[in-house]
Chains A and B, each alone.
Chain A
Amino acid sequence: MIKKLSNLARISLSPEEESDLKKDIEKVLDYVNSLKEANISSKQQDYFQSELSNIFRQDVVVEFDDKDAIIKSFNDKEERFLKVKAIL
């Protein structure tokens, strides 16, 4: 299970980390499984969904005033381009 999850999360784990995580996570999942007992009526479900509403703003483009600072942080760059390892 941990291997599949670390793949999805794109995080490399040592075998020791994997086995530690397996123990920790099983313990936590065991605890949070108590949620199964909680009873939610469908009426409450509807109410919950209707409480939320989106907040919008005008779709106006604003220039960021310090692009150099962003580029400075790139780990690998060529001119003003971010350089990464081979994708294919």
Chain B
Amino acid sequence: MATSGADGPRHAHLRLAVIGCGERGAALASAIGQTGNTRLSLVMDAEPTAARALGERLRVPWTTSLDEIVGSPEVDAVVISTPHDLHAPQAISAAKARKHIIVEKPLATSLSDAVAMVRTARACDVRLSAVLSYRYLPHVQHARKLIAGGVLGQLLGASLIFQRDGPQSGWRVRRRSSGGGVLINQTIHYLDWLRFLSGVEPAAVSAYHAIADGTGDVEDTAVMWIHFGNGALGTVNAALCARGTGSAGDLVECRLWGRDGHISLTPPYQFYSLRLVDGKRPGQWHAFAGQRQSSNRDVVYLQRFAERVLSGQEPEITGEDGLAVQALVEAAYRSAEAGHAVRVEREPWTNVT
């Protein structure tokens, strides 16, 4: 059972190593133990105290060496949860060592780095996926099914508000290490919702951002106007300085509306449609899904990733998904800098170098 990575035989379990033992790395490492098809082989952090603490807590070997991880025959895939500027070099090293790659969002601090990661993974024939795991929240999955069932019809508009009273610190407030602030760190999950739920790609963006209340050199408040490819319009309002909201309870209000209906991912989750969808009477608001769900989005994400990779398929959330949402965020930053609307880069990413 010494073979590993993309070249090795298919195992019943995908053997994972976690790179980065901070808060998110620890959460993902813990989630690995709760899936039926993944196993944690190793944890790594450049900071030995963090690596040892997590390794001992989860009773797995730990290391401070990236080379040890990518060279290990006991590792099929790596889970990268480090400061964003480290994602690209670590992912590219792993790809060249024929390890599949799971990367915390965002893929990188820049779209060009992210494109390099995805291209390398493709060239090395390994799978790369971004942890855009908010897609797996039960109410989001339910909303997706409703929309696929015709609740909205043609998308006409979207509105997204993300608010938290949660000042950031450390590497997250440095553009060089994080790539940005509230947009790239938190709002990116919900921007991914807009793509995932509507199936329509943003075409252009206009944005403003500011450091309203925080430290460092990244924005803690931002607004965006999105022009979708089909002509629909959307607005985004994000802030980490909204009093009355807390780090344990973000305010997330997300609504999409179309020619035939409207769906709200603001609690209590509701939809309205002129179509007969899911057996619900048209012309009325209907609640869907529960307010609090017990399933863990990271566990679902890892389980689905492993299922697909073990059967030789692309993961549900691909590197291209990570690129698309990274392109949207980067377009917002370019717009804020330029003072006018900018086009969102799209596949085949030929303009990105």
* Bound together: no
Q: Which residues of B contact A (CB under 8 A)?
A: none
